[in-house]
A and B are shown apart, each in its own frame.
Chain A
Amino acid sequence: MKPVIINMQSLCRFYVMGDQTVKALDNIDLRFIKNDYAAIMGPSGSGKSTLMNIIGCLDTPTSGIYELNGQSVAEMDDDELALVRNREIGFVFQTFNLLPRMNCLSNVELPLVYAGIDPEERRERAAAALVQVGLGDRIMHRPSELSGGQIQRVAIARALINNPAIILADEPTGNLDTATSHDIMAIFERLSGAGNTIILITHEEDIARYSRRIIRLRDGKIESDGTR
């Protein structure tokens, strides 16, 4: 049996808005095993983003258990969370979030800077990651010199650089046209084939269809969780 990467038990995340408590996530039980390729779907307000923040260690649950790669994350402080994010999670965002003033290589090696890796090793690994996403000839380009699809590939290279436990992609194709979207999804497919654990957040059915498991959220609860 494959190791469990994420273990959530009766996880809740409440927001207090004035005198009202919003139950963004209500009693969630979820597990992801290694090499899972899952899509989290749901209408806006369903708790998708909150769940992504919790999985990505950008936020901590109000109550319940969240274990990531064997570590209990729920009680960590800001700096410990930063360390976990750096080591265990590769983020891919809808808005790409590359730093515009830096070239591709510098963007990709950023997580390694925070991990305290030597400059030479940083450059080598960043270049290798860019080659892996098919941008070996663009490493010195700046984001402004690239197309949307290329930028998202740089972002994927950045997500891969630290060999994270999971790759967490939040609407990775939301700002791309259909053809480019499918190019990007092809990369995820390849990464999954290579043994990576991938969690997609999307509201597009045809993007979700690339994954092997679809989790649907509604009103902070899991509506369905099915392996195709």
Chain B
Amino acid sequence: MSGTFRQFRYETEESLRIALFQIRANKIRSFLTALGVIIGIVAITMMGTAINGIDLGFEKSLAMLGYDVIYVQKASWSTMGQWWRYRNRPDLKTAYAAQLNRIIADNPDSRLDIAVPQLSTYQASARYRERLLQQTFSLGTTADYLLTASGDLSAGRFFTDAESNSNAMVCVIGDDIAKGLFPNEPATGKSLQLRNNRIRIIGVFRKQGKFLGLFSFDNQVIMPLGAFEKIYGTDNFVTIRVKIRDQKKIQEAKEELTGLMRRLRKLAPDDEDDFSINEQRAFKSQLDPIKNGIAVAGIFITGMSLFVGAIGIMNITFVSVKERTREIGLRKALGAKRRTILLQFLIESVMICLIGGLVGLVTALFITFSIERIVPDFPVRFSPGLVLASLVVSVATGIISGLAPAMTASKLDPADSLRYE
């Protein structure tokens, strides 16, 4: 038994040696053959990298929203675009937050931690002397806002309870606004002009980036509710931000909050909810079809290029078998069994594919690296799983495309092959 194994090992070593000889002797041919696999593997890895990157970017964005914050709003995020379903709902009131907080405080078992009111508008622009920033996002809230939001301040401070309660005209601004309006000087201490009101900047947020590449947290002007109402009026979009105690119990927390909101809204038991409770997971359900679409398209493209590559390799291996008919005859005459010949040609095609796969991987790695360098915001991520997957795919391509020619070779008649011209 060990003799058989030893023989098998030596035959395999011999086959590896022959394969290397062959590839080295036919460099251009081997390269052209491997090209199909190279392209296929680049396609696979780039697709995988893109999907990984989308996930990564998404996770980053979700972290910005906070995993432990849910949002009471008039409309639902997961059915965005169906505005007619929500149009007739009564508006939310910022006062709900205080009412909720009272109920939460009375219930020690509550899954909810704190509710924070938020008024917001996109119809804002910020001016400082001759500089004007359009399309900023103005937001009115309380001093508790920071408990429900991510982000640190790079300068100054957030407004206090006292400032919040006294409706002081102070604000904290995002990094883009600070850079845009005050390119060469500190923003804190200066006064912004919002509509016809002047408001003093007391703090600046550190840069956070965009949420899903759409909405920027660096474009915000955050101020006390009273200040917001004074500038923009009371008729604006209301959100109640609710922080929950345990993000694993988000479902129970949502149910509790629904009950509380129904109470505040005085809904009868058979009335439908006239508000929506949103969480960041709603985005995930919107993103998944996109991700799957990319994956399906990617698999199709990759599959096509690998298929074409495999046909190329099969073709070349058939040519190689034909060219080396005498060699096959000789090896058989000297004692090579069928499986020896089969193995020899299989190893050769697998080796070409594996080399192609490695070249493809390096190319993809290089492309990924370049993208990261040139467009740092573009989400790409390479993973060890991808490396493994592409190597497995390369080997599989090699076996599939080499099998038919290798079988042909192994079944050649030694006497005829030896005489083949």
What residues of chain A have their CB less than 8 Å away from a CB belonging to chain B? 49, 53, 56, 58-59, 78-79, 82-83, 85-87, 91, 93, 97, 99, 101-102, 110-111, 113-119, 158
Bound Cα distance from A54 to B15, whole angstroms: 28
Smallest CB gap from B6: residue in A: A116
Bound Cα distance from A156 to B109, whole angstroms: 94
Bound Cα distance from A86 to B10, whole angstroms: 15
Instruction: Tell whether, in the assembled complex, residue A114 and residue B7 are in contact, meaning their CB atoms are under 8 Å apart.
Output: yes
A93 to chain B, nearest CB (A): 7
**Residues of chain A lying within 8 A (CB to CB) of residue B415:** 53, 58-59
What is the interface of chain A mostly: helix, strand, loop, or mixed?
A: helix
Instruction: Tell whether, in the assembled complex, residue A114 and residue B418 are in contact, meaning their CB atoms are under 8 Å apart.
Output: no
**Residues of chain B lying within 8 A (CB to CB) of residue A78:** 337-338
Minimum-distance CB pairs A-B, first 3: A86-B335, A116-B7, A114-B335
Q: Which of B60-68, B204-212, B325-333, B357-365 contacts A (4 or more CB under 8 A)?
A: B325-333
Instruction: Tell whether, in the assembled complex, residue B337 and residue A82 are in contact, meaning their CB atoms are under 8 Å apart.
Output: yes
Say whether, besides A59-B415, A101-B25, A82 and B11 are in contact (CB < 8 Å): no
Residue in A53, A113, A158 whose Cβ sees the most chain B Cβ within 10 Å? A113
**Residues of chain B lying within 8 A (CB to CB) of residue A113:** 10-11, 14
Bound Cα distance from A109 to B204, whole angstroms: 79
Query: B414 contacts the other chain (Cβ, under 8 Å)?
Result: yes
Instruction: Tell whether, in the assembled complex, residue B418 and residue A93 are in contact, meaning their CB atoms are under 8 Å apart.
Output: yes
Bound Cα distance from A53 to B417, whole angstroms: 12
Residue in B21, B327, B335, B419 whose Cβ sees the most chain A Cβ within 10 Å? B335
**Residues of chain A lying within 8 A (CB to CB) of residue B418:** 58, 93, 97
Query: B385 contacts the other chain (Cβ, under 8 Å)?
Result: no
Instruction: Tell whether, in the assembled complex, residue A85 and residue B10 are in contact, meaning their CB atoms are under 8 Å apart.
Output: no
Query: B305 contacts the other chain (Cβ, under 8 Å)?
Result: no
Query: B108 contacts the other chain (Cβ, under 8 Å)?
Result: no
What size tier do the contact residues of chain B reach?
20 to 34
Which chain B residues (318-366) contact chain A, with CB distance < 8 Å?
326-327, 330-340
Bound Cα distance from A72 to B415, whole angstroms: 19
Smallest CB gap from A170: residue in B: B418
Instruction: Tell whether, in the assembled complex, residue B335 and residue A82 are in contact, meaning their CB atoms are under 8 Å apart.
Output: yes
Bound Cα distance from A83 to B338, whole angstroms: 11
Instruction: Tell whether, in the assembled complex, residue B337 and residue A99 are in contact, meaning their CB atoms are under 8 Å apart.
Output: no
Bound Cα distance from A164 to B24, whole angstroms: 34
- Taken residue by residue from 9 to 53, chain B's Cβ proximity to chain A (1 for < 8 Å, 0 otherwise) reads as 011001000000100010000000000000000000000000000
**Residues of chain A lying within 8 A (CB to CB) of residue B81:** none
**Residues of chain A lying within 8 A (CB to CB) of residue B336:** 82, 114
Instruction: Tell whether, in the assembled complex, residue A58 and residue B414 are in contact, meaning their CB atoms are under 8 Å apart.
Output: yes
Query: B3 contacts the other chain (Cβ, under 8 Å)?
Result: yes
B285 to chain A, nearest CB (A): 59
Instruction: Tell whether, in the assembled complex, residue B338 and residue A79 are in contact, meaning their CB atoms are under 8 Å apart.
Output: yes
**Residues of chain A lying within 8 A (CB to CB) of residue B338:** 78-79, 82
**Residues of chain A lying within 8 A (CB to CB) of residue B11:** 113-114
Bound Cα distance from A82 to B340, whole angstroms: 11
- Taken residue by residue from 115 to 128, chain B's Cβ proximity to chain A (1 for < 8 Å, 0 otherwise) reads as 00000000000000
Instruction: Tell whether, in the assembled complex, residue B7 and residue A110 are in contact, meaning their CB atoms are under 8 Å apart.
Output: no
Q: List 10 A-B contacts (CB under 8 A).
A: A58-B333, A78-B337, A78-B338, A82-B338, A93-B418, A97-B330, A102-B21, A114-B7, A114-B334, A114-B337
**Residues of chain B lying within 8 A (CB to CB) of residue A79:** 337-339
Say whether, besides A58-B415, A115-B7, A116-B6, A101 and B21 are in contact (CB < 8 Å): yes
Residue in B25, B333, B337 whose Cβ sees the most chain A Cβ within 10 Å? B333
**Residues of chain B lying within 8 A (CB to CB) of residue A97:** 326, 330, 418
**Residues of chain B lying within 8 A (CB to CB) of residue A53:** 415
A155 to chain B, nearest CB (A): 10
Instruction: Tell whether, in the assembled complex, residue B335 and residue A83 are in contact, meaning their CB atoms are under 8 Å apart.
Output: yes
**Residues of chain A lying within 8 A (CB to CB) of residue B335:** 82-83, 85-87, 111, 114-115
Instruction: Tell whether, in the assembled complex, residue A82 and residue B332 are in contact, meaning their CB atoms are under 8 Å apart.
Output: yes
A150 to chain B, nearest CB (A): 18
Bound Cα distance from A106 to B333, whole angstroms: 16
Bound Cα distance from A119 to B9, whole angstroms: 11
Bound Cα distance from A40 to B326, whole angstroms: 24
B328 to chain A, nearest CB (A): 11
**Residues of chain A lying within 8 A (CB to CB) of residue B6:** 116, 118
Smallest CB gap from A114: residue in B: B335
- Taken residue by residue from 224 to 242, chain B's Cβ proximity to chain A (1 for < 8 Å, 0 otherwise) reads as 0000000000000000000
Bound Cα distance from A117 to B339, whole angstroms: 18
Smallest CB gap from A162: residue in B: B335
Which chain B residues (393-420) contact chain A, with CB distance < 8 Å?
413-415, 418-419
Smallest CB gap from B411: residue in A: A78
Instruction: Tell whether, in the assembled complex, residue A119 and residue B326 are in contact, meaning their CB atoms are under 8 Å apart.
Output: no
Partner pick for A86 among B3, B8, B334, CB 8 A cutoff: B334
A201 to chain B, nearest CB (A): 13
Bound Cα distance from A118 to B7, whole angstroms: 9
**Residues of chain A lying within 8 A (CB to CB) of residue B21:** 101-102
Instruction: Tell whether, in the assembled complex, residue A91 and residue B334 are in contact, meaning their CB atoms are under 8 Å apart.
Output: yes
Smallest CB gap from B333: residue in A: A91
Bound Cα distance from A113 to B21, whole angstroms: 17
